[in-house]
């Protein structure tokens, strides 16, 4: 049974914080961990009744829907207190999506309300955010009021390639494009990420106002990635320049497929992280 709802809690996201959150990204890996925690709460081992699981899933899904402005789903059983198979399938799908759909602000508000209903704890959320190297953390006072805070401390070291503010914004955009099934935008954002990566890697101020195509030779010289991987990045950037709707207008339909876009999104994150790891090893 869901815990009794607590007294009205204050809004947690100020206008100032909304602006600062524009460069905060909570990764897909962190969202997956949060999803698993919620699924564990809904599928309690001390209660193997599938109908009870469904009711708990419905409560969690509707907390998220309310924050995102989506319709609240009314769960109804038949005359015998049982549920259609389709109800179970729908709710399982929604449970997988509720941590991936929201933007950063919505996700924080959802997590706050989930804490207020005892579906997840502040400590559990903070552990996930800490492992994700996030600038956001949650706090709970002695009255049970839950808030979050953004770190005010400046970074002691320059931002790593995948953690620079612009990269965080672009990865957030990449996630949104994938969730919206906007495949040309996935390609466009991937190319933008690689161009930003190159401008972080090449130690020349002059490249900041250039296109990646104009200084790719310098990127090859300074990057830690192997030549074949740099060839892949160059091919992605070149395709962005000719693919309809990928950052430029066109009367033609885009040819990029769902499978290509999903692979591209995963590959983009992997290559950026790999460049970071390899460059760190070379500096050690």
Q: Which domains does the chain have, with CATH numbers?
A: 16-150 (no CATH), 165-278 (1.20.120)
pTM of the model: 0.52
Contacts of 14 (CB under 8 A, 6+ apart): none
Torsion of CA 118, 124, 126, 131, to 10 degrees: -150
Q: Are 151 and 163 in contact (CB under 8 A)?
A: no
Please give the pLDDT value at position 19: 57
Measured CA to CA, the distance from residue 168 to residue 24 in angstroms comes to 6
Counting Cα atoms < 13 Å in the Cβ hemisphere of 77 gives 11
Sign of the Cα torsion 188, 193, 196, 198 reads negative
Q: Are 255 and 262 in contact (CB under 8 A)?
A: no
pLDDT in tens, the chain (284 residues): 344 444 344 445 666 666 566 556 788 888 999 999 998 888 876 666 777 778 889 899 999 999 888 888 888 776 666 777 888 888 888 888 889 888 888 898 899 899 988 899 999 999 999 888 887 888 877 665 667 777 654 333 444 554 567 888 898 889 889 888 999 999 999 999 999 999 989 888 888 889 999 999 999 999 999 999 999 999 999 999 999 988 777 888 889 999 999 999 999 989 998 888 887 666 55
Element holding 70 (H helix, E strand): none
Q: Give me the phi and psi of 102, to 5 degrees please.
A: -70, 150
């Amino acid at each position: 049974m869901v815990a009794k709802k607590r007294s009205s809690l204050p809004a947690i996201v100020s206008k100032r914080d909304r602006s600062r959150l524009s460069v905060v990204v909570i990764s897909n890996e962190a969202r997956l961990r949060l999803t698993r925690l919620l699924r564990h709460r809904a599928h309690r081992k001390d209660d193997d009744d599938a109908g009870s699981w469904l009711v708990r899933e419905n409560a969690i899904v509707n907390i998220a829907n309310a924050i995102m402005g989506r319709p609240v789903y009314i769960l109804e059983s038949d005359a015998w207190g049982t549920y259609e198979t389709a109800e179970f399938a729908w709710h399982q799908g929604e449970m997988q999506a509720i941590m991936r759909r929201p933007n950063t602000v919505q996700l924080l508000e959802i997590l706050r309300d989930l804490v207020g209903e005892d579906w997840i704890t502040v400590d559990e959320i903070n552990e996930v955010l800490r492992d994700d190297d996030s600038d956001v953390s949650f706090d709970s006072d002695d009255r049970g009021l839950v808030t979050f805070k953004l770190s005010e401390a400046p970074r002691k070291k320059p931002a790593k390639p995948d953690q620079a503010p612009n990269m965080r914004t672009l990865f957030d955009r990449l996630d949104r494009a994938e969730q919206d099934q906007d495949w040309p935008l996935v390609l466009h954002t991937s190319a933008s990420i690689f161009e930003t990566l190159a401008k972080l890697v090449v130690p020349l101020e002059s490249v900041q106002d250039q296109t990646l195509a104009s200084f790719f030779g310098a990127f090859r010289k300074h990057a830690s990635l192997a030549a074949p991987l740099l060839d892949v990045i160059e091919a992605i950037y070149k395709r962005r320049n000719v693919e309809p709707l990928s950052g430029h207008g066109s009367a033609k339909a885009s040819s990029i497929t769902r499978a290509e876009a999903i692979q591209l999104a995963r590959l983009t994150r992997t290559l950026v992280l790999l460049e970071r790891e390899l460059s760190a090893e070379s500096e050690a």
